[in-house]
Amino acid sequence: MNSIVVFAGKEFRDGLRNKWVAGATLLLAALAFALTFLGSAPTGLVDVKPLAVTVVSVSSLTIFLIPLIALLLGYDAIVGEEERGCLLLLLTYPVSRIEIILGKFLGHAAILTVATVVGYGAAGTAAAWSTGGDAESWRAFLGLIASTVLLGLAFLALAYFISVVVRERSTAVGLAVGLWLFFIIVYDLALMGSLVASKGRIGSGIFASLLLLNPADVYRLFNLTAFEHIRKFSGMAGLSASAHFPPAILLAVLAAWAVIPLALAASIFRRREA
Amino acid sequence: MSIITVENVRKTYNGHPVLDAIGFAVPEGKCVALIGHNGAGKTTLMKLVLGLARPTSGRLEVLGVDPATADKSFRRQLGFLPENVAFHDELTGADTLAFYARLKGLSASCCPEILERVGLSFAAARRVKTYSKGMRQRLGLAQALLGTPRLLLLDEPTTGLDPVLRHEFFQIIRQLAAAGTTVILSSHILTELEARTDLAAIMRQGRLVAFGDLDGLRREAGLPVKIRARGDAGAIARRLNGAFVKAIEPDQRSIEIDCPVGGKMALVRTLADLGEVCSDLEVRPPSLDDLYLHYSGGAISAAGEPEAR
């Protein structure tokens, strides 16, 4: 237990030292601020959007950004240590492999959480302060932050899975980028393509469950359909009728996307020989 | 009491044998040199002793337990310096050592003393990025010394160190051995190990071809003492009736003689009695290099040296 804290602490401090925390926080904050306050700049009209609109635009952006940050943060967690020779050394220490992988994961998770909460939190607070958010908008915004953290953890867990199964860092980078392309770009295109090709013969039930197989889609569903008045802005009213899952279920699926790859990674790592 | 017992150990990777029929025992407090080519199986053997890999067959006992299934108390008594280890560049030396100390369940307050011992105190607050190869290696040794291990394994610890650093390195190791720590170190720079180890284990293609103390191995190998005499080479060769003569330099100024260990003193007396004819003598007992070449087999002719005529 103590070792988990030591690993997590080291990983987090490394993140502070090499500016991962500062960089990710600033990036998220800057984009959230931009979407909140300059959202209508192209029309020449600068005004402040209500919090609900912020939730829609920020979550659309998050889908691209957070998975990439998480994958880049985590892909070399194990394989990188292995390549530098540190893993061999760590394994001769009185620590278990589970403690190594869990400790490092918690450290990286803390980096993502801090960046998300501080970055989006600042923008959200500013937006609410200048326009005054109603209670439901606030709930939606808190939901945005919570689900963004979970989305980050899901892709972090996938990155750890990659890091455990490959033997070279370069392979891990390739797989991480490939995974991002697959889940963020290809999956939705393929889904839409098959919908069109089958002329709607794919039942809405199957379509909805296919969405659950992609953590990014789960995140999208959660943020765009969970709250009544956001559905109006997001244009998801049609979809939400056919693919309506209770928000708690969506969050649980997202959490499962974090837990299952990490558990798989841990069990593979535990059985592997040095 | 043996601190390491290895019995008929075999290790294969994907069906390819890396270690075969390895058996030896190391008494506590000894310093053992593990010698062999790259790929002879030294690192694999260390991994087995450390419990990082399991033998395919055979039995290992280290510090009284099976290392592959041992609990954390076993690993608390180990110190290990891997062949290639790159510590985090952005951390300072002191922070790096403190991290490893906490993993061993120690308080970071023991670190300054260890840094002092390996001669790194002056750079403790500097980032590892700024360290030279020798300083990194000393930091590696420092982490291996945490918690005063009973068994210390060093994989190629002196590779890339200059002679002065190597000397300091061995001084530290000798102090440890004197304090009762069992040390196992691998190297392919053999001459430096000579005066500093109690036992040598020579490995070749996954097999242990020799194990024992250096004197015993020398006797067993029956290697000649090499004598180089300067002076009138022709006259010296005539006096010896050509016996033991291995080679005469083309300029006739020096002669190489391979003499059996038992006949060394007699030969030296004969040469000394030659007066002006023999002006200088150089006597070299078989070195660890020679032993290694002998036991690892065939390498003498491969090196292009003709056998004694």
In chain B, the domains with their CATH numbers are 2-219 (3.40.50.300), 224-285 (3.30.70.120)
In terms of Cα–Cα distance, which of A73, A89, A71, A70 is closest to A81?
A: A89
The minimum CA-CA distance between A43 and chain B, rounded to whole Å, is: 47
CB contacts, 8 Å: A91 with chain B:
50, 52
- Å from A1 to nearest chain B CA? 11
Give the total residue count for chain B: 309
Q: How many domains does chain A have?
A: 1
Positive or negative, the CA dihedral B98, B103, B104, B105 is positive
Chain A residues inside the 8 Å CB shell of B84: 85
Q: Do A274 and B83 touch (CB under 8 A)?
A: no
Give the one of B78, B88, B105 whose C-beta lies nearest to A92's C-beta: B78
The 10 Å Cβ neighbour count of residue B17 is: 15
Beta-carbon contacts of residue A22 (< 8 Å; ≥ 6 apart):
A16
Residues of A in contact with B43 (CB under 8 A): none
> Do the Cβ atoms of B52 and A274 come within 8 Å?
yes
Q: Do A17 and B90 touch (CB under 8 A)?
A: yes
Query: CB-based contact (8 Å) between A6 and chain B?
Result: yes
pTM over the 0.90 mark: no
**What's the domain range around A163?**
2-271
Encode chain A (274 residues) as per-residue pLDDT tens digits: 689 999 999 999 999 988 888 999 999 988 888 887 765 544 444 444 567 777 888 888 889 999 999 999 999 999 999 998 899 999 999 999 999 999 999 999 999 999 999 999 888 788 777 766 677 778 888 889 999 999 999 999 999 999 999 999 999 999 999 999 999 999 989 988 888 888 767 676 777 788 889 999 999 888 887 766 566 655 555 555 555 688 888 999 999 999 999 999 999 999 887 6
Count of residues in chain A = 274
Q: Which residues of A20-34 are buried (b: 16+ CB within 10 A; e: fewer)?
A: bbeebbeebbebbbe
Q: DSSP string covering B168-208, please?
A: HHHHHHHHHHHTT-EEEEEES--GGGGGG-SEEEEEETTEE
Q: Closest chain B residue to A18 measured between Cα atoms? A: B90
Pair B24, B34: CB distance under 8 Å: no
Residue to mutate among A5, A6, A88, with most B CBs inside 10 A, is A88
* Residue A271 near chain B (CB below 8 Å): no
Of B36, B8, B44, B48, nearest to B24 by C-alpha is: B8
Check A91 against B52: CB less than 8 A apart: yes
Whether the CA torsion B64, B65, B66, B71 is positive or negative: it is negative
- Sheet strands (E) in B149-297: 151-155, 182-187, 199-204, 207-213, 225-231, 245-248, 254-259, 278-284
Give this complex's ipTM.
0.84
pLDDT tens across the length of chain B (309 residues) = 788 999 999 999 888 888 988 999 999 888 898 988 878 888 899 999 999 888 999 999 999 999 988 888 899 999 999 988 888 888 899 999 999 999 998 988 999 999 998 889 999 999 999 998 888 988 999 999 998 899 999 998 887 777 888 888 888 888 888 888 999 988 776 766 666 788 888 888 888 988 988 878 888 888 888 888 888 888 888 888 777 777 888 888 888 888 887 788 888 888 888 888 888 888 888 877 788 888 877 543 333 333 333
Residues of B with CB under 8 A from a CB of A: 47, 50-54, 72-73, 75-76, 78, 80, 82-88, 90-91, 99-100, 102-105, 143
pLDDT reported for residue B83: 86
The residue of chain A with its CA nearest to that of B143 is A89
Rounded Cα gap, residues A34 and A41, in angstroms: 10
Which residues from B are below 8 Å from A273, CB to CB? Answer: 52-54
Chain B CB contacts of A3 under 8 Å are: 103
**In this complex, do B85 and A93 lie within 8 Å of one another by their Cβ atoms?**
no
Interface test with B, best of A92, A95, A269 (most B CBs within 10 A): A92
Q: Which residues make Cβ contacts (< 8 Å) with residue B220, sequence separation at least 6?
A: B210, B212
The SS3 of residue B23 is strand
d(CA A183, CA A213): 9
